[in-house]
Structure 1
Amino acid sequence: MSDNRIIDSLSLLLNHSKEDSNKVKTLNALAWNLKESNVDTSIVLSTQALLLAKKINWKRGQAQSEHQLGVCSFYKGNYSNSIGHYENALILWQKLIELSDKTLSAEGKKGRAKTIGNMAIIYQARSDYQKAIEYYLKALQMNEELGDKNGIARDLLNIGTVYKDQAEYSRALEYYFRSLKISEESDLKEMEANILGNIGIVYQNEGDQKSAIDYLLKSLKMSEEIGLKKLYANNLANIGNVYRKLRINKKALAYFERALKINEEMNDQVAFSKNLGNLGNIYLEEGNYPEALRYYKKALIIGEKLGDKDAIATDLGNIGLLYTKTGKLNEAEESLLKALAISNEIKAIDLVEGHELCLSELYKAMKKPGLAFEHYKKYVAAKDKINNEENQKKQVQSEMNYEFGKKEAVLKEQQEKERAVAAEKNRFQRIVIASVISCLLLVIGFAFFVFRSLKKTRLQKNIIEEKQREILDSIRYAKRIQNALLTSEKYMERNLNKMKP
């Protein structure tokens, strides 16, 4: 069923719902399906669900509504509000966990794990990577205890994104491929689409644009097929970035504009800010500096409003680079030093690398060779940290482990099928052998029975024949006696007749 049909069905159901728990479920389901296409309406519906759940004192409905409001607030870029809703949800999930009802308790544990995972996303968006990892690992442990494959795959994916944001690409890929394996085995299409996109970004950041395009196009196709509008827009933007790095700016611009349009439709402020910066990059490379600066400043305003330090550092760095190119060296120095400080604070080594190189070029232009050399050395150190040989080896190993795991799974499945066929064949052979033996035993038994019967019959025949012989002999003997007697009587009769007077 398409998203529109689901929304229509839920809207129709809502119109005929009573003021009970079913209406809370319907409101939340409708809000969930609208969260990407119309986040403001989703917030209204989730709020209605929360109020009704409180009115009927339904804790599970309250927890679900608070969690969903946290998601919607994140989409709006209101991180503080999002954390507040998640904390409220955690309190309610805990109350369910403490109940004696095993079903409700299990649902509370599952909800708690998901909420903690979402809180980690907020900390990650704020560039508080240490806290993000802490919360992701908590969620991962909970989902492993629950045996929730979807939750495990999601947490592994998110941990990978934290390492990706810190340019620890080998570790990022390690978690991505672990998540991908679980997602493929469990047929988690949405998760799989997300992972493929993130793997593409890692390859893009490492300069392997061919592999990046391959993974991003897979993710783009899958996200379109299953209706993931937000992910679809992100993939468009990331493909645009690949084409920009390949200096195919016309294609890059087209992809960025398509992504920006979807961001506006969804009111996705975070992605909207990033794509404004992406468009600024294109205009900078094209030499259209006024247009580039306009986009960079718009992006910076949104980043500051969101408190997104990664975005702020990126936008300040871009503005500093533009000022360097246009000869506004003092303004460039101010922007670049701010950008570098924030990047070091959040340990975004990939941003540090870029800012150090820009500062080296800036100080060269300012005729300050000492500072230029100092920042160039720091640039080289950052670059080496990202691209050192060990990282490359680990990255290759992660992919090899994943491919080996897939092949091993296929081989295992094939072996199991072969064993099953062999077992079936052996079973059939055993049945045939048993049948033949049974038939032989029956034949032997029947033959023995016939033999015994024949033997008995022959014996009886012999006895009968013997009896018959005895009888016949007796008859013949009796006849002889009778004949003998008759002869004597005739003889006597003749003699008596002779003696008559």
Structure 2
Amino acid sequence: MKPTKRVKNPWMYLLLFCFFLVEVKLDAQTTQTIANSPNPSTADSLFKLAEKYDSVGDSKRALPLFESSLPIYQKLGKQREVGHCFNYIGANYYRQGNLSKALSYFEKGVAAYKKAGYKKGVAALLNNVGVIYYSMGNYPQAVELYKQTIFMQEKIGNKNTTATITGNIGGIYSKIKDYPNALKYFNKADALFKELNDKRGVAKILMEVGYISMEQGNFDKALKEFDESLTIAQKAKEKEVEIEVLSNLGELFYRKSDFQKALYYYNNCLKKAEEIGKLQYRSSCSIAIGNIFYQLKKYKEAVGKCSAGLTIAEKMGAISIKKDACECLYHSYKSLNNNSLALLYYEKVNAFEDSLNTKEASSRMMNMEFQKQQLVDSIAFVKKQSAAQLKHQAEIQAKEKQRNVIIASLGMVLLIAGGLWYRLNFVRKAKETLKIEKDRSDALLLNILPQEIAEELKLTGSVKAKDFGMVSILFTDFQSFTQTAQTMSPQRLVEEINVCFEAFDRISEKYQIEKIKTIGDAYMAAGGMANADENFPKNVVLAALEMQAFIAQRAIENQKAPKPHFEMRLGIHAGPIVAGVVGVKKFQYDIWGDTVNTASRMESNGSVGKVNISEAFYELIKDDPLFSFEYRGNISAKGKGEIKMYFVEKNASMQM
């Protein structure tokens, strides 16, 4: 069993500008009076009072006041102040965890600052937007915004912010284990921090570099870098950095199986985290100490520490830390022969693991930005080879022409005619061969990628990731697939799945929805991507009902044979997604986002032969007379909590 994972205290932070911060003492009645008189002093008073509440973390009072001052500033045309309001409102929604609203307000703030010509504000809010994309798992977009911010900060001359954001980019590369690029950006940030004599920044860079050394198994080098980072942090009295380094040192010695030293550093980390109220490290260090007690066979002590860590993690809502705590408690209770509690925490571990599975999709999105360049290089290499072949053919043709001239000079008219015929025939056959190969390549590419994506890839040599605001996602899965498959030969199993998926492909094409991929016995398709008209939700439902009808008819046919047959669940959800091409070899068009995960939950919580839809999708089609609905109530879905679900079918009165 491993210690709790290192709590990454990421470089990403919001550059919030707190303008006009002064002491203002207004009661609720005075605030209401000010709000009723729309003039510059009214807006300023509301804004200053909002800042006062915001500075002490009272978002409940601050947010309405910012929202009240905003329309007054807009009416007065004071764009810089409008930008300040959007900035603060977005930051409040970010702290609440409402990323979509935070993103909307930050982007509006960027527009307002641009109108005001306030470059410093534009740069700060671009960084904030980058933080949102990082939190959403859209790492390529985050990197792009960070680079824009660095460019603007360099023009402004703000080296401190430039250094921090450079460290942000290094942190993203480190997260996807691209250590050469991570070190490149960390070194740039380190040079800037040293130039600015920023001890905190220097200490954090050393810690990040030490973590990479530890991940690469170079423990001696990592220890030296951690010790140096700790010394700088202690001298500069940077307690938060000191706590991070102590946690890393604990993990280092745990990996070396030196549990006594690991315990020493984790206890120091916990003590200092308690002094400054650092909940993340109070939780993670308690769990790490619990894991060490488990390794030392002190199971009751392990239960105590991991339970304390879990309590704090539940207050924070940190899923990964809660998973680590439950895993520690599962192993500890199992060793204490308390099987009922061991089973309880084992089930919680699985639930948290399911919620964290979205990391795989995020990792693929992270890698897409970096793999794109490799794809461009690969296509460039193919073009280079093609140019070399054309040049070689031109040289051959030139030699043939020279030979024909010599033959012509000797009067061998017949041979000249034969040579010309041969050359023309060769060119004709070559063109035919090239056309056949081109058509074959185009057909193969269109079979792998949507036409729009394939054309973009051929024209530009790369594919940009694309956001879709509203897409319907359809998931199917065969119930009891493993048990049914065991009654069939491998050849028969593949044939049966192929019959079903060929039918699904035809149905998808009929209703103009995009097949995304198959995963084992699961089939995923999306509506509203290539043809985003108003009928796409309806078409997705019609396709889903037709797929279920095909499976039902296929089951009847197989039962008559008799042969094994499949039964199928099907679920649909609608919402925003990100789509793009991943990989260099055998590249694949795929989609990501929480919408995809929720659609999967609609399928897994559905019933055989039924089409299960989410409330969000129900809102899109509820007024269509073609369908009737059965409300299922709030259904508990793994990693999502309770979700309202409906069964949908064709309205009996509308069927022929």
TM superposition score normalised by structure 1: 0.52
The answer on whether the counterparts of 1:94 and 1:112 sit within 8 Å (CA) in structure 2 is no
1:98-127 CA distance string (max 9 Å, x none): 579979x44433444554566577x3xxxx
Which of 128, 134, 146 aligns to 1:155? It is: 128
Aligned-partner Cα distance in 1 for 2:357–2:341: 23
Aligned in 2, Cα 1:157/1:388: closer, same or farther, shift over 3 Å? closer
1:259 aligns with: 229
Aligned-partner Cα distance in 2 for 1:221–1:353: 38
Which of 276, 294, 315 aligns to 2:246? It is: 276
1:326 aligns with 2:296: yes
2:109 aligns with: 142
Q: CA deviation at 1:138?
A: 2.8
Which of 57, 60, 69 aligns to 1:83? It is: 57
Which of 176, 189, 195 aligns to 2:142? It is: 176
Which of 176, 186, 211 aligns to 2:152? It is: 186
1:311 aligns with: 281
Aligned in 2, Cα 1:88/1:353: closer, same or farther, shift over 3 Å? closer
Aligned in 2, Cα 1:174/1:349: closer, same or farther, shift over 3 Å? farther
SS at match of 1:83: coil
Matches within 5 A, 1:7-156: 82-83=56-57, 98=72, 105-116=78-89, 123=95, 130=97, 134-135=101-102, 137-147=104-114, 148-156=121-129
Aligned-partner Cα distance in 2 for 1:64–1:290: 52
The answer on whether the counterparts of 1:350 and 1:382 sit within 8 Å (CA) in structure 2 is yes
2:406 aligns with: none
SS at match of 2:217: coil
Aligned-partner Cα distance in 2 for 1:209–1:383: 26
Q: Where does the alignment leave 5 or more consecutive residues of structure 1 unmatched?
A: 1-45, 71-79, 164-170, 413-501
1:37 aligns with: none
Aligned in 2, Cα 1:108/1:187: closer, same or farther, shift over 3 Å? closer
Matches within 5 A, 1:60-459: 82-83=56-57, 98=72, 105-116=78-89, 123=95, 130=97, 134-135=101-102, 137-147=104-114, 148-163=121-136, 171-188=137-154, 190-225=160-195, 228-343=198-313, 346-367=316-337, 379=349, 382=352, 385-386=356-357, 389-399=360-370
Matches within 5 A, 1:464-483: none
Aligned-partner Cα distance in 1 for 2:153–2:224: 33
Q: Where does the alignment leave 5 or more consecutive residues of structure 2 unmatched?
A: 1-17, 25-40, 115-120, 377-455, 461-656
Aligned-partner Cα distance in 2 for 1:223–1:386: 36
The structure whose residues are more often helix, as a share, is 1
Paired residue type of 2:109: M
The structure whose residues are more often strand, as a share, is 2
Q: CA deviation at 1:332?
A: 0.8
Aligned-partner Cα distance in 2 for 1:120–1:403: 38
1:117-151 CA distance string (max 9 Å, x none): 66577x3xxxx5x1577556533432333224303
Aligned in 2, Cα 1:196/1:404: closer, same or farther, shift over 3 Å? farther
Q: CA deviation at 1:173?
A: 0.9
1:223-262 CA distance string (max 9 Å, x none): 4345554333222222222222233233223322333334
Q: CA deviation at 1:193?
A: 3.7
The answer on whether the counterparts of 2:138 and 2:362 sit within 8 Å (CA) in structure 1 is no
The answer on whether the counterparts of 2:130 and 2:141 sit within 8 Å (CA) in structure 1 is yes
Aligned-partner Cα distance in 2 for 1:369–1:265: 49
Aligned in 2, Cα 1:102/1:234: closer, same or farther, shift over 3 Å? farther
Aligned-partner Cα distance in 2 for 1:207–1:151: 28
Larger Rg: 1
The answer on whether the counterparts of 1:234 and 1:271 sit within 8 Å (CA) in structure 2 is yes
Paired residue type of 1:236: L
SS at match of 1:186: helix
TM superposition score normalised by structure 2: 0.41
1:62-117 CA distance string (max 9 Å, x none): 989997x99xxxxxxxxx964269988996998799579979x4443344455456
1:176-225 CA distance string (max 9 Å, x none): 22312422543546555434433443444455545543443343334434
1:463-500 CA distance string (max 9 Å, x none): xxxxxxxxxxxxxxxxxxxxxxxxxxxxxxxxxxxxxx
Figure out how many residues of one structure are paired with residues of the other and give that number: 338
Aligned-partner Cα distance in 2 for 1:313–1:291: 19
Paired residue type of 2:106: A
Aligned-partner Cα distance in 1 for 2:139–2:81: 32
The answer on whether the counterparts of 2:320 and 2:352 sit within 8 Å (CA) in structure 1 is yes
Q: CA deviation at 1:316?
A: 1.6
